[in-house]
């Protein structure tokens, strides 16, 4: 029952956020295109629930090497997007598709999973999220703590915990405490 309620909440909130943020999304697209050549959306292969591969969508924040004319690293817009986590807004499409949820463990990179210890693979038994327990309650920026807190979330997960995480996420993002 939890999974069904969670999916309904994901769909309702994601559609509402996409509608509300449509003007902002359009502005971000325009600024990315004005500053540098290349695609607006960056796609990365990630592993989701049960190690299923999917493409994670994010706004591109770096120069495209073959198009950058000697420029390297983050674009100015990209730096701002990363600092504010706005680069992750296209991941809402992943939520609509069911690849991700609004709340859950961070989606894993394939090379990371190859290095997981046995206990860390438990992170892959649920749908990954745009935000999660580690992002809002973690104190250290280490993989060990992230894995530990993600697994703690998996054992404690509930609709109420998800709502608390969603409510706490903007505070953490805007105060840069997460």
pLDDT digits (tens, 9 = 90+) for 55-100: 999 999 999 875 656 677 899 999 999 999 999 999 999 999 999 9
Q: What pTM value is reported for the model? A: 0.91
CA 68 vs. chain centroid, Å, equals: 26
pLDDT digits (tens, 9 = 90+) for 33-52: 999 989 999 999 999 999 99
The pairing of beta strand 129-131 with beta strand 101-103: parallel
Q: Is the dihedral of CA 41, 45, 46, 48 positive or negative?
A: positive
Percentage of the chain beyond pLDDT 70 is 95
Domains identified in the chain, total number:
1
Per DSSP, the three-state class of 62 is strand
Q: Which domain holds residue 108?
A: 2-174
């Amino acid at each position: 029952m939890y999974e069904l309620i969670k999916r309904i909440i994901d769909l309702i909130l994601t559609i509402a956020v996409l509608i509300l943020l449509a003007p902002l999304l359009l502005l971000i697209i325009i600024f990315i295109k004005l500053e540098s050549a290349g695609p607006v959306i960056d796609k990365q292969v990630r592993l989701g629930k049960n190690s299923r591969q999917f493409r994670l969508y994010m706004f591109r924040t770096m120069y495209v090497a073959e198009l950058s004319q000697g420029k390297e690293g983050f674009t100015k817009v990209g730096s701002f997007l990363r600092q504010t986590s706005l680069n992750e807004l296209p991941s809402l499409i992943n939520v609509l598709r069911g690849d991700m949820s609004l709340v859950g463990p961070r989606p894993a990179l394939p090379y990371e999973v190859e290095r997981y210890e046995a206990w860390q693979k438990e992170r892959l038994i649920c749908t990954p999220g745009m935000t999660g327990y580690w992002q809002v309650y973690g104190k250290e920026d280490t993989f060990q703590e992230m894995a530990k807190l993600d697994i703690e979330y998996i054992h404690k997960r509930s609709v109420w915990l998800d709502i608390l995480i969603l409510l706490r996420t903007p505070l953490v993002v805007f105060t840069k405490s997460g």
